[in-house]
Structure 1
Amino acid sequence: MYSRDLNRQGLFTSKGEKKEFIITKLHHSLMRMGSYTTKMHKNDFFQIIYITGGTGIQYIDLQAYEVKQGDVIFLNTWQQHSWSYNSTTQGYILSFSPSFITQFVSDHLFVHNLPYFKRFTSHHLLELKYELSEWIQDTMDRMHKEYETENGEYLNLVRAYLLEILLLCEKEIDKAESSNSNHAKSNELVKAFEALIDKHFYEYRFPKEYAKVLLVTPNYLNALCQKIKNKSAGDMIRDRILIECKRLLIHTNLSASEIAYQLNFKDNSYFSRFFKKHIGIAPDEFRRK
């Protein structure tokens, strides 16, 4: 069985033998250290801290992160870090060198290229959803049990557990980034639609005309508007026309017929019906009020 003594600068057994991988229960490590806090330091190995209970504060490059059950903390080799935990804090500490995994995968930069271990990463902390949190804890329990009882014969099984955790965390981050990216793209498209409405509402009255300019289908444009603005694409066009109707009625002396002509309605009668349907009163009455 490997010793679980963890040196802050490297991975060593109690006999001074350097190892490529160590897993310890967080509470046991804190007890051996005799302190719930550490000073800022750097390691020459990668580290994952998984919180299974309690709370605490993790400091990474002077930034403080409040941690709780289900949180995963990632520490690479160039970050200054420390922690301030307490008697309630439970979890696991996984410490490993990249070579421990690259014996299992062909890419020698595999660990360095994971989104949470890149040099300028912003993914220091991952909050797991309940289902994935349960899965990760179960995998760590199995890894720890195997690590405690093995004699080196089944290290590949430990590697497989670690690889599973690394990839599941990467997948979760990629899903979040993809969702954010798609949301940002959707927002940009709706903003472009609003800009086009503002420019062309005099002439374009139907979503399909805008969709053609935006190179999307009318149904897709409508779905995005419903999702982001809570109204249909047609409603957004109509609302912009109504705003202009009100502006002209309030701030000009143009007659209802002249406004209808300026806004490209086919006649005054149609304009009046349109206005009354959506505002509740006729254009002339709106102006008087």
Structure 2
Amino acid sequence: MKKDFPVYDICTLSEFKQDDILISRFAPYLDTHKNLYLPHKHNFYHLVLFTEGSGSHAIDFHTFKVNPFQIYFMIPGQVHSWAFKGSVDGYVINFSVSFFQSLLLKPDYLDQFPFFSGLAEQGVIEVPAELHDYFTNLFEQIIAENETPQRMAIDMVKALMLQVFITTGRLCLDNQPQHVTPYNYTLLRNFQKLIEQNFTHLKLPKNYAELLYITPNHLNALCNDVMGMPAGEMIRNRIALEAKRLLVNMSLTIAEIADKLNFADNSYFTKFFKKQAGLTPEEFRKKALNNI
């Protein structure tokens, strides 16, 4: 029997449905949707702040240890699963891609935050002790607005969520190397966005350097300086990640996945994937689906 990772939308989680957003304390949310322990995808943004609990959380095939006052940000399309130890609690907010569009004039406003880059390691944030009460208060206000709505409640929820994003964004920027200028940081984020938009057909650093109006050497130096890897590796990592996401979809053959990612043939795709993941596509698929 073929098994695919399920893809959930906010409407699927109907017990908590409210237009383009779902807000809940985490324990009852997870108790109602026990299937969310298994690997799955969302077509919405997913935000979780843990206040108690332990275990692990796998995002896009990277595993993270769960700790209290750890905040997770996920974008649509990422694969994740939980493996908790004992009871857990906190807050969860799911919101659609269009949720903020009626409030913000910049449609790509959320893209400026590193935790919404789609890189699993950038989406897991440890909240420092001095901000525990601040974050708890913000989420309690969001819960209150959702449970006892007043006039313009949804706008208040959006304003409170932006406080969460901006405060967390400042934490991320504080952890950036001091020598990284705002210009270079913006340049790197633009490179990451271009990869996301073009990785299936633009596979060389020089292609992206042209779009950014800089030289390939400048782009490589920037990526090595900030990310610790060359530009080409960032592109290859994104292609490999998409390959992994497609490989857990049993309705696609290996050849079809190679074609979707614009590889010349199946053998070239297999060599590329094995070099990036350490397994052939067939081996990775078997191992991943055995965990469903």
* Compared CA separation, residues 83 and 47, structure 1 to 2 (3 A): same
Gaps of 5+ in 1: 1-6, 183-289
Deviations 1:22-68 (A, max 9, x none): 11111001211246x62211100001110011212110011110011
TM-score normalised by the chain length of structure 2: 0.54
Q: Is 2:62–2:120's contact at 8 Å kept on the other side of the alignment? A: no
- The corresponding residue for 2:43 is 44
Q: Which amino acid aligns with 1:87?
A: G
Q: Which runs of 4+ in 1 moved over 3 A?
A: 13-18, 119-122, 178-182
Cα RMSD (Å) of the superposition?
A: 2.6
Q: Which amino acid aligns with 1:32?
A: T
* Compared CA separation, residues 181 and 133, structure 1 to 2 (3 A): farther
- The corresponding residue for 1:139 is 138
Instruction: Tell me the distance in 2 between the aligned counterparts of 1:16 and 1:132.
Output: 28
Instruction: Tell me the distance in 1 between the aligned counterparts of 2:16 and 2:72.
Output: 27
Instruction: Tell me the distance in 2 between the aligned counterparts of 1:32 and 1:165.
Output: 26
Identical aligned residues as a percent = 19
Partner-residue secondary structure (3-state), 1:150:
coil
- The corresponding residue for 2:95 is 96
Q: Which amino acid aligns with 2:54?
A: T
Q: Which amino acid aligns with 2:73?
A: F
Q: Which amino acid aligns with 1:26?
A: F
Q: 1:95 Cα shift? A: 0.5
Q: Is 2:48–2:71's contact at 8 Å kept on the other side of the alignment? A: yes
Instruction: Tell me the distance in 1 between the aligned counterparts of 2:179 and 2:121.
Output: 15
Q: Is 2:114–2:123's contact at 8 Å kept on the other side of the alignment? A: no
| Bigger radius of gyration | 1
Gaps of 5+ in 2: 1-5, 182-292
How many residues align? The count is 175
TM-score normalised by the chain length of structure 1: 0.55
- The corresponding residue for 1:166 is 165
* Compared CA separation, residues 26 and 163, structure 1 to 2 (3 A): same
- Say if 2:24 is the partner of 1:20: no
- The corresponding residue for 2:149 is 150
Instruction: Tell me the distance in 2 between the aligned counterparts of 1:55 and 1:137.
Output: 18
Instruction: Tell me the distance in 1 between the aligned counterparts of 2:16 and 2:161.
Output: 24
Partner-residue secondary structure (3-state), 2:58:
strand
Residues 1-289 of structure 1 aligned to structure 2 (within 5 Å)? 9-12=8-11, 14=14, 19-34=19-34, 38-120=37-119, 122-150=121-149, 153-179=152-178, 181=180
Deviations 1:176-213 (A, max 9, x none): 1144859xxxxxxxxxxxxxxxxxxxxxxxxxxxxxxx
